[in-house]
Amino acid sequence: MSLHVDVSHHHDVLLVRLSGELDHHTAARVREEIDREWNKGICGNLVLNLANLSFMDSSGLGVILGRYRQVSQMNGKMVLCAVQPSIHRLFELSGMFKILPFAEDERTALSVCGVAS
Residue 117 lies in a domain: no
Q: In angstroms, rounded to a whole number, what is the distance separating the alpha carbons of residues 43 and 24?
A: 27
Residue 83 lies in a domain: yes
Domain with 97 in it: 3-109
Average pLDDT on 28-52 reads 96
Residue 116 lies in a domain: no
3-state secondary structure of 117: coil
| CATH code where residue 60 lies | 3.30.750.24
Residue 114 lies in a domain: no
pTM of the prediction? 0.94
Number of domains in the chain: 1
Residue 7 lies in a domain: yes
pLDDT tens column, 20-38: 999 999 999 999 999 999 9
Q: In angstroms, rounded to a whole number, what is the distance separating the alpha carbons of residues 26 and 49?
A: 16
